[in-house]
């Protein structure tokens, strides 16, 4: 309780300690989250995801600098790196790329290990974001684990999701695959000084056009043909822009910030912000409900009964789905 009060009064040490309590899911962390919840809902949460080595940390570093220069908001950064599935240990190295942000009291960086989660974030990431939100950070940048193709949890947590690509990592088919590309609100081609950048831009652009068809006018066997966009194209008011950046020297980053603010404006006007808040908090509620129900239910089943049912499954006398029915009905078949 004490930590939550000190957090709200702006104490940075209390903030840091509370982040640890929430990350470790301690009773103190849980009750603090309840206490601070009314103070959340103000921050613009921005997810930054993409493959390993595309330059996410370096880009986040530049975004932090640039946000501070533009409108001077308080900026929090949650940087997630993978835990070892074998030892549970982790080397969290995102700070190495964020040294330019040191010495600015308006920036707070917290590194997080994924602790066994597979969606590109850690289980407690949403909780940490709430703590920063309540502490008055207006911009919260979440950097995911170097995501492969399906680590898309960040899109459920963030208002604006940046997907970072770099030249030379894949062709058009990669760009058409399901997953990462679908969650992008803004596509960033980083390392734009590298060879192959034009190909990457082209591949992303054509993949994007499949997702968001537009009216096409082109020459086909000498004739001018027009392909009208299908009707549903009208519905989506936001077509993800593709931007080039060079995060090592900051090129393209202020343009990126302009797009991030433009996305926020667009969401506010279209009602998408409210819709995202609803689905964001809804999926959080679902996850908690599931956890609580399963935990509560498992507590009520005597361990011996559970083991007995499990034995039957192992002996192939009971299919798992039947076992679930048996357990839910409280029967002891």
Q: Which stretch binds another protein (CB under 8 A): 65-73, 93-101, 165-173, 281-289?
A: 93-101
Q: Cα dist. 293→24, 65, 300 in Å?
A: 21, 44, 11
In the chain, the N- to C-terminal Cα span, in Å, equals: 47
β-pairing verdict for 223-227 and 216-220: antiparallel
SS3 assignment, position 48: strand
Rounded alpha-carbon distances, angstroms, from residue 264 to 72, 184, 229? 17, 14, 26
Residue 296 CB, nearest approach to another protein (Å): 15
Contact pattern from residue 244 through residue 273 relative to another protein, giving x for each residue in contact according to CB under 8 A and a dash for the rest: ------------------------------
Using CB under 8 A as the binding rule, whether residue 38 contacts another protein is answered as no
Stretch that binds another protein, among 40-48, 54-62, 91-99, 318-326 (CB under 8 A): 91-99
Alpha helices in 230-271 (DSSP H): 253-270
Structure tokens at 188: 């960033």
Among 10, 52, 93, 148, binds another protein (CB under 8 A): 93
Candidates 45-53, 98-106, 203-211, 242-250: pick the segment binding another protein (CB under 8 A). 98-106
Q: Nearest CA to 160 among 246, 249, 24, 277?
A: 277
Q: Are 51 and 165 in contact (CB under 8 A)?
A: yes
3-state secondary structure of 232: helix
Stretches 22-30, 187-195, 248-256, 304-312: which one binds another protein (CB under 8 A)? 22-30
Q: Which is nearer to another protein, 172 or 284 (CB)?
A: 284
Among 13, 285, 287, 293, contact with another protein (rule: CB under 8 A) = 13
Point out which span in 105-113, 129-137, 185-193, 307-315 binds another protein (CB under 8 A).
Answer: 105-113
d(CA 34, CA 26): 13
In the bound complex, what is the minimum distance in angstroms from residue 7's beta carbon to another protein? 13
Q: Which of 40, 48, 42 is nearest to 64 (CA)?
A: 48
Nearer to another protein, 86 or 218 (CB): 86
Give whichever of 8 and 242 is closer to another protein, judged by the CB atom: 8
Please select the residue that binds another protein; options are 66, 92, 169, 323, rule is CB under 8 A: 92
Q: How many CB atoms lie within 10 A of CB 118?
A: 12
Among 2, 69, 71, 96, binds another protein (CB under 8 A): 96
CA 313/CA 322 separation, integer angstroms:
9
Answer for the pair 139, 67: CB distance below 8 angstroms, yes or no.
Answer: yes
Instruction: State yes or no: residue 102 binds another protein (CB under 8 A).
Output: yes
Binding-site ranges for another protein (CB under 8 A): 12-13, 16-17, 19-20, 23-26, 83-84, 87-93, 95-96, 99, 102-103, 108-111, 113, 115, 124
């Amino acid at each position: 309780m004490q930590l939550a009060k000190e957090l709200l009064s702006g104490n940075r040490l209390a903030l840091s300690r509370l982040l640890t309590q929430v990350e470790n899911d301690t009773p103190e962390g849980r009750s603090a989250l309840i206490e601070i919840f009314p103070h959340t809902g103000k921050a613009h949460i921005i997810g930054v995801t993409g493959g390993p080595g595309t330059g996410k940390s370096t880009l986040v570093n530049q975004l932090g600098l640039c946000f501070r220069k533009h409108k001077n908001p308080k900026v929090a950064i949650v940087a997630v790196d993978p835990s070892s599935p074998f030892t549970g240990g982790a080397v969290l190295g995102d700070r190495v790329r964020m040294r330019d942000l040191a010495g600015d009291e308006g920036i707070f960086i917290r590194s997080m290990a994924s602790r066994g989660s597979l969606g590109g974030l850690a289980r407690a990431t949403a909780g940490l974001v709430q703590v920063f939100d309540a502490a008055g950070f207006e911009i919260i940048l979440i950097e995911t684990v170097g995501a492969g193709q399906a680590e898309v949890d960040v899109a459920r947590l963030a208002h604006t999701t940046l997907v970072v690509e770099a030249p030379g990592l894949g062709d058009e088919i990669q760009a058409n695959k399901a997953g990462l590309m679908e969650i992008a609100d803004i596509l960033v081609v980083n390392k734009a000084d590298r060879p192959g950048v034009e190909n990457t831009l082209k591949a992303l652009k054509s993949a994007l056009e499949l997702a968001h068809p537009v009216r096409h006018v082109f020459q086909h066997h000498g004739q001018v043909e027009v392909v009208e966009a299908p009707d549903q194209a009208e519905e989506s008011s936001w077509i993800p822009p593709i931007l080039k950046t060079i995060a090592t020297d900051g090129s393209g980053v202020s343009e990126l910030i302009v797009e991030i603010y433009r996305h926020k404006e667009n969401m506010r006007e279209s009602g998408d912000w409210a819709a995202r808040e609803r689905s964001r908090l809804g999926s959080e509620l679902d996850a908690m409900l599931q956890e609580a129900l399963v935990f509560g239910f498992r507590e009520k089943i005597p361990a011996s009964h559970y083991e007995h049912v499990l034995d039957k499954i192992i002996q192939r006398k009971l299919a798992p789905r039947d076992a679930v029915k048996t357990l839910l009905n409280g029967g002891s078949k």
